[in-house]
Amino acid sequence: MATVVVYVEQEGGKPVRASTECLSAARATGSTVVAVVAREGAKDAAAALGKFGASKVVCLVGASKYSPDATARDLAKVVRDQKASAFFAAATASGKDVAPRVAAELDSTLHSDCVGLEASGDGFRVVRPWLAGKAIATLSSRAPVTCATTRPNVFQASETGGTAEVLEVPASADGKAVVASVAPKPGGKLDVKEAPVVVSGGRGMKGPEHFHLIEELAAAFGNAATGASRAVVDAGWRPHAEQVGQTGKTVAPKLYVAVGISGAIQHLAGMRTSKVIVAINKDKEAPIFKVADYGIVGDAFEVVPALAKAVQEVRAHK
């Protein structure tokens, strides 16, 4: 059976969901899965990884500060030591940062942001978007190690595994770059790439002073992040971290609500794989309605507060 090494990201001693999804995707290929956890809190996160499919967990311990290049070398060493035929990580900010370096350390190429992953013969086959999802490519690999990152919110994290053996390995201390500090996000705001629900606003919101309506609708859902179209980010109404589309972030939430967004091709590319799309726009000819599962033609200033109230009521009665 093939062995796959998975880099698991953790925060405060808990594995992040994108990483448990990646672990389960690796396990679903029928491979033996070795998880690697780094940074402060690694040992606390290790115990939970068996149930997501890891049979062994390697904790990189003892580094006073996190270094992405040292971590990449440590990960490549685990891949070699375990004689693994594949290396996977979640396509989070940290996963995207480390995975290409692990691949290069192994003289292998990388398949980024995969939406499909399966065993094929004695290797693996991956599916990934090109042009932000305007086309979908299926690839196999001639690399010594198949390296891939998995897109958050696409794979199912399943808690069907058992317990894992936990090993501690000293982390390398010779990083050329180190994370000196992290300024936490204010108020635990959800990231647009990770949130199960995304509420986005566009030019139809008419000005930054009206985006509290978008925020209130997101708050009503409870588990939602706020997003934005390129036009409103370029206009300085919203921060670029919220931009959804080909020149922003590609998202695949369970529910995407587009408010006052006409649906330019570059925006559609970034959100068309959302499971359910709702569009609210006063122009019934807007292209966004062509990809939306449910549409309301109307004034955002009237519809959005009514929707927020209704969502709140539904959730209160659950």
Partner 1 sequence: MKIAALIKRVPTTEAQAKVGGDGKSLDSSGFQYMPSFYDEIAVEAAIQTKEKVGGDVTVLTLGPQDAAKELREFIARGADAGAILVDPTWHARDARATAKALAKKISALGSELVLAGRVATDRDQASVGPMLATFLGWSCVTEVIALEIAPEKGVAKRETEHGVETVEFTLPAVVTCNKGLNEPRRPNLKGIMAAKSKPVAEEPAEAIENQAVVEKVELPPARKAGRIVGEGAAAVPELIRALREEAHVL
Query: Using CB under 8 A, which residues numbered 25 to 54 contact partner 1?
Result: none
Q: Write out the binding residues for partner 1, residues 61-80 only, by CB under 8 A.
A: 68-69, 72
172 makes contact with partner 1 (CB under 8 A):
no
Which secondary-structure segment (H or E) carries 297? strand 294-297
Q: Produce one character per residue of 90-100: b if its CB has 16 or more CB atoms within 10 Å, e if not.
A: bbbebbeebbb
Looking at the Cβ atoms of 24 and 149, the one nearer to partner 1 is 149
Q: Write out the binding residues for partner 1, residues 247-276 only, by CB under 8 A.
A: 247-248, 250, 254-255, 265-266, 272-273, 275-276
The DSSP line for 63-94 is -SS--HHHHHHHHHHHHHHTT-SEEEEE-SHH
Q: Per this entry, what is the length of the chain? A: 318
Looking at the Cβ atoms of 35 and 143, the one nearer to partner 1 is 143
Which candidate, 259, 253, 286, places its Cα nearest to that of 272? 253
The least distance separating partner 1 from the CB of residue 178, rounded to whole angstroms, comes to 6
Structure tokens at 182: 């992290």
The least distance separating partner 1 from the CB of residue 294, rounded to whole angstroms, comes to 5
Which candidate, 93, 106, 90, 73, places its Cα nearest to that of 35? 90
CB contact set of 209 (below 8 Å; sequence gap of 6+): none
Among 92, 200, 229, 262, binds partner 1 (CB under 8 A): 92
Among 183, 187, 285, 316, binds partner 1 (CB under 8 A): 183
Q: Interface with partner 1 by CB under 8 A: which range of 28-36, 55-63, 200-208, 235-243?
A: 235-243
21 makes contact with partner 1 (CB under 8 A):
no
User: Could you give the CA distance from residue 80 to residue 34 in angstroms, rounded to a whole number?
Assistant: 12
The least distance separating partner 1 from the CB of residue 173, rounded to whole angstroms, comes to 14
Among 77, 96, 206, 210, binds partner 1 (CB under 8 A): 96
97 makes contact with partner 1 (CB under 8 A):
yes
Structure tokens at 308: 């927020």
287 makes contact with partner 1 (CB under 8 A):
no
194 makes contact with partner 1 (CB under 8 A):
yes
Which candidate, 161, 182, 198, places its Cα nearest to that of 277? 198
Q: Write out the binding residues for partner 1, residues 110-169 only, by CB under 8 A.
A: 110-113, 125, 128-143
* Per-residue CA distances from 44 to 18, 21, 41, 98 (Å): 18, 19, 5, 22
The least distance separating partner 1 from the CB of residue 126, rounded to whole angstroms, comes to 9
Looking at the Cβ atoms of 70 and 164, the one nearer to partner 1 is 70
Looking at the Cβ atoms of 162 and 285, the one nearer to partner 1 is 285
Contact 151, 114 (CB under 8 A): yes
14 makes contact with partner 1 (CB under 8 A):
no
Looking at the Cβ atoms of 19 and 55, the one nearer to partner 1 is 19
